[in-house]
A and B are shown apart, each in its own frame.
Chain A
Amino acid sequence: MEPSALVRELFAWAHADAAGLMASVLALPVLVPLLGALFAFVMRRWAAAIGLVTLLALLATVLLLIPWLLGAGAQGLAVGGWGAPLGVDLYADGLSLAMLLMTAVVGLGISLYAHSYFRADPIREQAFWPLWLLLLTALNALFLSRDLFNLYVTLEILGLSAVALTALAGGAKALVGAMRYLLVSLLGSLAYLLGIALLYHAYATVDLALLAARIDAAPATWAALALMSAGLILKTALFPLHFWLPPAHASAAAPVSAALSALVIKGSYYLLVRIWLELVQVQSDGVATFLGLLGAGAVLWGSIQALVQTRLKLLIAYSTVAQIGYLFLAFPLAAGTGGLAWSGALYLALSHALAKAAMFLAAGNLLRFGGHDRIADLDRVVQRLPLSMAAFALAGVSIIGLPPSGGFIGKWLLLEAALSTGRWGWGIVIMLGGVLAATYVFKVVGFAFTQAEHPHQAQRVPATMEWVAFALAVAAVLLGFLVAQPLMLLEIGDPFAAHVGGMGP
């Protein structure tokens, strides 16, 4: 029997006997890391082992969801058995599943890295694991929830754990960066919460699907959507609200930087896309163009800022600012191209997660190796730390969008959406961002070959840390070869279809 058929049989059997149990499987991506976090918190000494086992279990859970959803389509779970509007509904379609998979894969990589990274510092290691597992809990809960208030709670857990992890690096820079991050995160959450209060007052529900059916274009609706979008944009660090990102992402410990840039900002972006697809979409060309323009600003400004940085981690952080911009180009491009632009943006989000995690982890290796991250003093690191430098360069290939890589496919889809509808302006921004990215990536690679004026005492870098960065970078490139499967995954439940609901004319 084929493996997929076996899985189907298994599900069918389980479905007949324990429907409640089966449906509850949808809550596992939340429960697994949550239980892991609780155990890691209580049994501090075993925290790292518990963390790694949790990540393996999480990956297995998400992999198990894939055949189920591929066969049975999008799935919902009314937690507590009540269902909206009284209860909280979970919902998983292709979009959620792709984000869950991204989180599990990148999360496993970061966990393996962190295991080596924190080995010499048990106090920090014991603090890291519960916070990190709670961050994963929050992300998975966010990707699965369909309830705006529940999503607010997940945003709170996500923000708090991200801030605590940022501060974990210690030192004035990290603490200042973390403090600013905390204030920004709270401001964003409160704006979002105010929006929910307005929507609940007007429509008596916080369930996305019910809201989509009830919502109309009243002033309160627009005010609510504006507040929620502003809060989420602030959390996603879209230009010009990106000011908090570089200090926070650059000053954190390497595995934390990777998690923040690769995963955390995708949480608020995902939520923004969901709200947009379910509630706005129709009759909002002006808003879409506005978001697109901010995105274009981010691509150009972020890339130029990356180019002038002298510190490697700051360069990578500004590169994140630029890459976030691409994700927002989908808002204007989605009009008239259906799912094409959204698929492109999401493909870009997935490959950026892999590539940016690889870049920050590679930078962490260079930092540990040389004791600094001054780009000009990289000092022939290409010969002395070839695997990490290869990881950086390969991740760079995907960030630039060179074929074959995940970044290339994402940009190609976006470009196709722009050109097929004759919108050249957006196309030029996409191309220009790629050229600028190439410039800042090659700037780093160039200095990796030259000898520095003052050679440094080199520290040993554990092999795991090198191989994890390399593996994630290779995965980002491989995403350019396997195009059909991720796109098929994204299409489960047709998340990008124009909804009948939303705000009519």
Chain B
Amino acid sequence: MDKTKRDLRTAGEEDLDARQERSVQGLTRLVVASLLAVVFVGLALVILALPTEAPGLADQVDAALVDTGVTHPVTAVLLDFRGYDTLLEMVVLLLALAGVWSLAEGSPRTDHRPGVMLDRLTRLYAPLMLMIAGYLLWVGSTAPGGAFQAGAVLGAAGVVLTLTGWRLPRRLAGWPLRLLLVSGVLVFIAAGLVGLGFDRVWLDYPPPWSGALILLIETVASVAIGVTLAALFLGGHPEQTP
């Protein structure tokens, strides 16, 4: 067998191998797809069979609302009934940032000036966004709103500022920034301790203080959440930026 023939044969075999591999891949996909279809149909049937009227906890929440110091049920659930969950959710957010910081360096500072359009719009939007965040925070105790919503708007304001090339001054980018980031969780834990002095368990706010404590937690939390979201957008640790 001369060289060309051998090469041809090998090439043919490789072709066959590749084709076989493709067909195996196709088969795997088919099996996975049909399995998923079965799961989907099964779940759909189960969900269709559920009663449309769910018992829920809404009535109990409404009945207990008077003892919370807020009048909006969602805020009461988030900050009072299930405050412990919310505390841990805020830890998740902080953890996400700690994870990102452990992986990436920050984006480099540039002297790049934003265009006229971006510059003007930012000057217009940033204060407006701050005001909206404040409104959402304040209205949270009686209507839809609260720390997470206010924090999201603050975060967006941070993103807009970042896009124009604004960066936190270096002397604030170290521990002061990190302290701000953890302040939401810290104040939440501390506010929960107030009840201990009144023979209550942790995170059980004494009634006359309840509304004020919730407002305090929400205020600090919305700033912390906003800063965390903006920092997540920026990527790496601002202190380690080149």
A residues less than 8 Å from B45 (CB atoms) = 219
Cβ of B102 and Cβ of A168 under 8 Å apart?
A: yes
Main secondary structure of the interface of A (DSSP, over half): helix
Q: In the assembly, what is the distance between CA of A72 and CA of B84, in Å?
A: 25
Contact B103 A167 (CB under 8 A): yes
Type the 1/0 row for B42-55, where 1 means its CB is closer than 8 Å to any CB of A: 11011101110011
Contacts of A81 in B (CB 8 A): 195, 200-201, 203-204
> B127 interface residue, CB < 8 Å from A?
no
Q: Report yes or no: A38 in contact with B85, Cβ–Cβ below 8 A.
A: no
Smallest beta-carbon distance B170→chain A, Å:
15
Interface hits, A112-159 → B, CB 8 Å: 123-124, 127-128, 130-131, 134, 137, 141, 149-150, 153-154, 156-157
- Residues of chain A contacted by B204 (CB below 8 angstroms): 20, 79-82
Contact assessment for B189 and A34 in the assembled complex, using a CB-CB cutoff below 8 Å: yes
B186 adjacent to chain A (CB < 8 Å): yes
* A38/B185 in contact, CB under 8 A: yes
A323 within 8 Å of B by Cβ?
Answer: no
Say whether A164 contacts B103, CB under 8 Å: yes
The reply to whether A161 and B95 form a contact with Cβ atoms under 8 Å apart is: yes
Cα A141 to Cα B85 with chains together (Å): 11
User: Which residue of chain A has the shortest Cβ distance to B97 in the bound complex?
Assistant: A41
Q: How many Å lie between the Cα of A128 and that of B102 in the bound state? A: 8
Which residues of chain A come closer than 8 Å to B84, judged between CB atoms? 79-80, 87-88, 150
Q: How far is the CA of A220 from the CA of B49 in the complex (A)?
A: 8
Q: Is A86's CB within 8 Å of the partner chain B?
A: yes
In Å, the complex CA distance between A223 and B50 comes to 11
> Is A78 a contact partner of B103 (Cβ separation < 8 A)?
no
Is B55 a contact of A80 with CB atoms below 8 Å? no
Chain B residues near A219 (CB-CB < 8 A): 45-46, 49
Q: Which residues of A contact B43 (CB under 8 A)?
A: 194, 223, 227
Q: Assuming the A-B contacts A201-B50, A203-B55, are A157 and B88 also in contact, with contact meaning beta carbons closer than 8 angstroms in the complex?
A: yes
Chain A residues lying within 8 Å of B4, measured Cβ to Cβ, are none
Task: Report the minimum CB–CB distance from B44 to chain A (whole Å).
Answer: 10
Interface residues of B in 191-242 (CB under 8 A from A): 195-196, 198-204, 240
Shortest distance between the CB of B197 and any CB in chain A (Å) = 9
In the complex, number of A-B residue pairs with CB atoms less than 8 Å apart: 155
Q: Is B96 an interface residue (CB 8 A)?
A: yes
In the assembled complex, the Cα of A274 lies from the Cα of B190 at a distance in Å of 31
- Interface stretch (choices B7-15, B17-25, B155-163, B175-183): B175-183
Q: Is there an interface contact between A79 and B54, defined as CB atoms closer than 8 Å?
A: no
The answer to whether B201 and A134 have CB atoms under 8 Å apart is: no
Question: At the interface, yes or no: A35 with Cβ under 8 Å from chain B?
Answer: yes
Contacts of B186 in A (CB 8 A): 38
Provide the bound-state CA to CA distance between A201 and B50, in Å.
Answer: 8
Are A160 and B96 neighbours in the complex by a CB distance under 8 Å? Answer: yes
Closest to B55 in A: A204
In whole angstroms, what is the CA distance A164 to B204 when docked? 33
- Residues of A within 8 Å of B94, CB to CB, are 41
- Over the window 219-258 of chain A, the binary record of Cβ atoms lying under 8 Å from chain B Cβ atoms (1 yes, 0 no) is 1100100010000000000000000000000000000000
Indicate if A289 sits at the interface (CB-CB under 8 A).
Answer: no
The reply to whether the CB of B166 lies closer than 8 angstroms to some CB of chain A is no
* Distance of A167 Cα from B96 Cα, bound (Å): 13
Is B131's beta carbon under 8 Å from chain A? no
Tell which of B51, B60, B85 touches A88, judged by Cβ atoms closer than 8 Å.
B85
Answer whether residue A1 sits at the interface, using C-beta atoms and an 8 A cutoff: no
| Cα A18 to Cα B197 with chains together (Å) | 8
Between A41, A80, A163, the greatest number of chain B beta carbons within 10 A of the residue's beta carbon is seen for A80
What string of 1s and 0s marks CB contacts (under 8 Å) between B32-75 and chain A?
Answer: 00000000001101110111001111001100100000000000
Within 8 Å CB of B240, what residues of A? Answer: 123
A42 touching B99 by the CB < 8 A rule? no
- A19, A85, A134, A167: the one within 8 Å of B91 (CB): A134
Which of B92, B96, B179, B201 sits near A77, CB closer than 8 Å? B201
Residues of A within 8 A of B119 (CB): none
Known contacts A80-B81, A80-B83; is A127 also within 8 Å of B189 by CB?
A: no
Supposing A77-B201, A81-B201 touch, asked if A204 and B50 sit within 8 A by C-beta, the answer is: no
Q: Is the CB of B102 within 8 A of A127?
A: yes
Check B98 for interface membership: any CB of A closer than 8 A: yes
| B138 CB-CB contact with A under 8 Å | no
Give every chain B residue within 8 A of A186 (Cβ-Cβ).
none
Is the C-beta of A464 less than 8 angstroms from some C-beta in chain B? Answer: no
- Pairwise interchain contact B64-A82, C-beta atoms closer than 8 A: yes
A130–B81 CB distance below 8 A: no
Looking at the complex, which one of A20, A123, A150 makes contact with B201 (CB distance below 8 Å)? Answer: A20
Q: Name B185's closest neighbour in chain A (CB-CB).
A: A38
Q: Hey, which chain B residues are within 8 Å of A309, CB to CB? A: none
Which residues of the other chain, B, contact A18 by a CB distance below 8 angstroms? 196, 199
Q: Is the CB of A42 within 8 A of B178?
A: yes
Cα distance, A219 to B49, chains bound together (Å)? 8
Cβ proximity bits B143-173 to A, threshold 8 Å, 1 near / 0 not: 0000000000000000000000000000000
A24–B42 CA distance with the chains assembled, in angstroms:
43
> Any chain B CB within 8 A of the CB of A69?
no
Q: Note all chain B residues with C-beta closer than 8 A to A227.
A: 43
Q: Which of B47, B51, B102 contacts A131 (CB 8 A)?
A: B102
User: Which chain B residues numbered 85 to 109 have a C-beta less than 8 Å away from chain A?
Assistant: 85, 88-89, 91-92, 94-96, 98-99, 101-103
User: Are A223 and B42 in contact (CB-based, < 8 A)?
Assistant: yes
A20 and B200 within 8 A (CB): yes
Using known A-B contacts A160-B95, A160-B96, determine if residue A20 contacts B195 with beta carbons closer than 8 Å: yes
Chain A residues with CB below 8 A from B102, complex form: 124, 127-128, 131, 164, 167-168
B-chain residues with CB within 8 Å of residue A164 when the two chains form the complex:
95, 98-99, 102-103
Q: How far is the CA of A204 from the CA of B56 in the complex (A)?
A: 5
| Besides A20-B200, A77-B202, A161-B99, 19 new A-B residue pairs in contact (Cβ under 8 A), listed by A number | A20-B202, A35-B189, A79-B84, A80-B83, A80-B84, A86-B64, A123-B240, A127-B102, A131-B98, A149-B82, A149-B85, A153-B85, A157-B95, A161-B95, A164-B95, A164-B103, A204-B56, A219-B49, A220-B47
Task: Write the residues of chain A forming the contact surface with B, with a CB cutoff of 8 angstroms.
Answer: 18-21, 23-24, 27, 31, 34-35, 38, 41-44, 77-82, 85-88, 123-124, 127-128, 130-131, 134, 137, 141, 149-150, 153-154, 156-157, 160-161, 163-164, 167-168, 194, 198, 200-205, 219-220, 223, 227
Mind listing 29 A-B residue pairs with CB under 8 Å? A20-B195, A20-B196, A20-B198, A20-B199, A21-B196, A24-B202, A34-B185, A38-B186, A41-B178, A42-B179, A77-B202, A80-B80, A80-B84, A80-B201, A80-B202, A80-B204, A81-B203, A88-B84, A149-B85, A153-B92, A160-B96, A164-B102, A164-B103, A168-B102, A198-B47, A202-B51, A203-B55, A219-B46, A223-B43
A-B CB proximity, top 8 nearest: A81-B204, A164-B99, A127-B102, A204-B55, A24-B202, A223-B46, A80-B203, A79-B84
